[in-house]
Amino acid sequence: MQKYISEQNLNALLDKLIAEGKRVVAPRLNAGTPLYEPLASAAELVIDRLPRRSGKEAFFPLCEDIMSYEKEGQRVELQDIDPVRFPETVLVGVRPCDAAAIPVLDTVFSWDYKDEFFLERRRKTTIIGLACTQADDACFCSAVGLSPGDPKGADLFLTPLEGGGYACEAFSEKGETLVGAHHELFAEPNGAKALPLAEPQTDAFDLKKVKQWLDEHFEDPSWDTIATRCVGCGACAFVCPACHCFDIVDEGTEKKGKRRKNWDACGFWKFTHHASGHNPRDQQPKRYRNRIMHKFKYYDDKFGQTLCTGCGRCIRLCPVGIDIAAILQQVEAKVE
């Protein structure tokens, strides 16, 4: 079902959704930094820049309360959070690298333990994807099997057209419902050509080869050369659309407080630091090895998927220039 929507009508759609009481999350500027955040109105939309952080936080916020407690004498009161109260959401302008990560996250959050905080937000969210017409030399979605025009993960997908406006196609029931409910804003295709898609310049990886090397080289001296310079911050994990480790902490006083779920990162020295004081990943190269293993081996072993969509965010932001695509190239080259 191909449709056409003009820029003006897209804005009108967002304003209508906001007026209906839906949470519309889309790229906007926060004190100058582009982020996916709830819009107050469509005028805030800044669609031409890749947001600094990914779209995952529409389901998996940086930090959320999962319980509150109060204690007085012998009386302890626990208050659950009711996921039913999570708002209906439309996530707009999601780049293919961000959208493709969402089904990957679905798998882990609905595996042995069903994470209702994630899943309920996910059920209530419609995703409007957007094809990319610009890439820099950190982008490598096409090297991990995606493309700047890949609608994977999107309910509705927009492709910018020559002369303005977007071609619009629904890829799920949610997408069709959204178009159906606002059909007056969509028109029949006008025959305009799509703008040329971005062209990421990294050659495709043979992820099987990469995995083969990882399978056999848990211990290997090259981990040191790869990662000695890693300073152990969480920047790479925090900007990644596919990273999903979290920590749970109680904050407040002994008498009153909240239990909170917040992002964790394998770069941190505290990650897997045991209560005994022992840490199986006691040095930075071991922590970085975990990052690569998790993305290209463990996740594949367990779920048959790769935990990287090539958005390049970690490459742009790593304080010491650690480049995951360069590392994959090196690893691939080690296999005959």
Partner 1 sequence: MTQAIDTSLYAAVTDAIRNEASRILSDGTVSAVIGYTAARRRGSAQPIVVSRIEDAAKLIFTPACVNNLAVYLTKAKKEVPKAGRIGVVVKGCDLKALVGLMGESQLTRERLYLIGVPCVGVLASVVQPDTELTSESIAPKCRECDAHLPAGCDYVPAQKPVTPELEKKYAAEIARLEALTPAERWSYWKEQSSKCIKCYACRQVCPFCFCEQCLCDRNKPQMVESTPRPAGNVAWHIVRAMHLAGRCAGCAECERVCPMDIPLNLLNRKMAKELKELFDHEAGFEVNEKGPLATFTEKDDQSFIK
Contacts to partner 1 by CB under 8 A: 30-33, 52-53, 62-63, 136-138, 224, 228-229, 231-235, 238-239, 249, 251, 260, 262-263, 265, 268, 270, 283-285, 315, 317, 319-323, 325-326, 329
Q: Which is nearer to ligand SF4, 87 or 319 (CB)?
A: 319
SS3 39: coil
Whether residue 177 contacts residue 88, with contact meaning beta carbons closer than 8 Å, is answered with: no
Q: Report d(CA 300, CA 79) in Å as an integer.
A: 38
Q: Residue 162 gets which letter from DSSP?
A: T
State which of positions 134-173 bind ligand SF4 (CB under 6 A): none
Number of C-alpha atoms within 13 angstroms, CB side, residue 146? 28
Q: Report d(CA 86, CA 211) in Å as an integer.
A: 39
- Which among partner 1, ligand SF4, none contacts residue 308 (Cβ within 5 to 8 A by kind)? ligand SF4
- Here's the x/- map for ligand SF4, 274-303, by CB under 6 A: it reads as --------------x------x--------
Q: Report d(CA 336, CA 331) in Å as an integer.
A: 11
Strands across the sheet containing 125-130: 2-5, 166-170, 156-160, 125-130, 89-94, 23-30, 33-38
- Which among partner 1, ligand SF4, none contacts residue 310 (Cβ within 5 to 8 A by kind)? ligand SF4
Q: Report d(CA 27, CA 39) in Å as an integer.
A: 8
Q: Which is nearer to partner 1, 12 or 235 (CB)?
A: 235
Q: Report d(CA 113, CA 109) in Å as an integer.
A: 7
When binding is defined by CB under 6 A, the residue of 159, 312, 327, 328 that contacts ligand SF4 is 312
Q: Residue 33 gets which letter from DSSP?
A: E
When binding is defined by CB under 6 A, the residue of 25, 308, 327, 331 that contacts ligand SF4 is 308
What does residue 19 show for φ and ψ, rounded to 5 degrees? -65, -30
Residue 27: closest CA among 5, 44, 10: 44
Q: Which is nearer to partner 1, 53 or 297 (CB)?
A: 53
When binding is defined by CB under 6 A, the residue of 248, 320, 326, 335 that contacts ligand SF4 is 320
Residue nearest to ligand SF4 (CB): 267
- Which among partner 1, ligand SF4, none contacts residue 270 (Cβ within 5 to 8 A by kind)? partner 1
Residue 190's CB is within 10 A of a number of other CB atoms, namely 11
Site for ligand SF4 contains 322 (CB under 6 A):
yes
Q: Which is nearer to ligand SF4, 160 or 200 (CB)?
A: 200
What's the token pair of residue 309?
């969509």
Binding positions for ligand SF4, rule: CB under 6 A: 230-233, 235-236, 239-242, 267, 288, 295, 308-314, 318-320, 322, 324
